[in-house]
Amino acid sequence: MTETDRAALLRALPYARRYARALVGSQPRGDALVAEALRAALAAPLPAAEQALRVALYAAISDVAPRAAPSSGMTALQRMLLLLTALEELPLAAAAAALRLHVDVAEAELRAARDMLRAGAAARVLIIEDEPIIALDIQELVERCGHSVVGIAATEQEAVEIARRSPPTLVLADINLGAGGDGANAVARILRHVAVPVIFVTAYPERLLTGEVMEPAFVITKPFEPTTLAVATYQAVTHGLRPL
């Protein structure tokens, strides 16, 4: 592998980790899935173009991912399509190629998956966001996804206090809270008292997807579309794919 190829692979890896972690609902299992997929992918020449390389990695991950029993009526294939098109922002044709599906089949499966999103488990969401307008926009999106909001926190301390007073079943946290502290620290303090899935929202997702330290299972990029939030909350609340 040339230095250029290696650099392209290193740029693609954070997105492969994001997909795998969200797919299985766990950083350790997701990163192990990426390692397994890489061993298979590197057995053949990888494409040079960065987008094509990402699609090849998504395909390798999907090949080795657990095909769990349907949860809340949604199949593993439908979850994969949702994540590839919403979280990873692939065009439908690229997502279909990653899953080795005809585009018409992928389109029908994706339509069915989107229809089932609102039927997923409802969550009690704690929003950690220091920008009031952004926080209200997120609240609206969360409620449109069928969830309720237990509180909005602009600082670390507010987040911890709300979580103790009204324990959430899902935390949606910005990383940078400005003068209010750090969203990751707030989450770490909350997790000492309650086991709850967490979705981090950041403009720089690659910084949370290095695989070098303990990192989140669910990361979405600012700004995000309503469907992206709906898919991420569904995966987080239903805990991703579980091995059969």
pLDDT confidence of residue 242: 61
Class of domain 3-117: mainly alpha
How many other C-beta atoms can be found within 10 angstroms of the C-beta atom of residue 61?
Answer: 25
Q: Is the pLDDT assigned to residue 2 strictly greater than 90?
A: no
Digit-coded pLDDT (tens) for 92-116 = 999 999 999 999 999 999 999 988 8
How does the average pLDDT of the chain come out, rounded? 88
Contact between residue 161 and residue 124 where contact means Cβ atoms under 8 Å apart: no
> DSSP letters along 135-149, please?
HHHHHHHHHHTT-EE
Nearest to 115 by CA among 236, 239, 234: 234
Examine the pLDDT at 244 and tell me if it is beyond 50: no
Other CB atoms within a 10 A radius of the CB of residue 45 amount to 10
Reported CATH class of domain 124-237: alpha beta
Amino acid at 172: L
The dihedral of CA 74, 76, 77, 80: what is its sign?
positive
Q: Which of the residue ranges 103-117, 138-152, 183-197, 201-215 would you say has the lowest mean pLDDT?
A: 201-215
Per cent of the chain over pLDDT 90 is 55
Peptide bond into 205 cis (omega under 30): no
Range picked from 16-30, 107-121, 170-184 for highest mean pLDDT:
16-30
Q: Is it the case that residue 213 has pLDDT exceeding 80?
A: no
Quickly state the pLDDT bin for 182 (edges 50, 70, 90): confident
Cβ atoms of residues 119 and 78 within 8 Å = no
Residue 47 predicted with pLDDT over 70: yes
pLDDT band at 136 (very low <50, low <70, confident <90, very high): very high
Name residues whose C-beta falls within 8 Å of residue 18's C-beta, 6 or more positions apart in sequence: 87, 88, 205, 209, 219
With 80 as the cut, is the pLDDT of residue 232 above it?
yes
**How many angstroms separate the first and last alpha carbons of the chain?**
36
**Cα separation of 174 and 196, whole Å?**
16
Residue matched to tokens 């987008």: 51
Whose structure tokens read 């059969």? 244
Give pLDDT, residue 70: 53
Domain with CATH 1.20.140.160 in the chain: 3-117
Residues of CATH 3.40.50.2300 domain(s) within the chain?
124-237
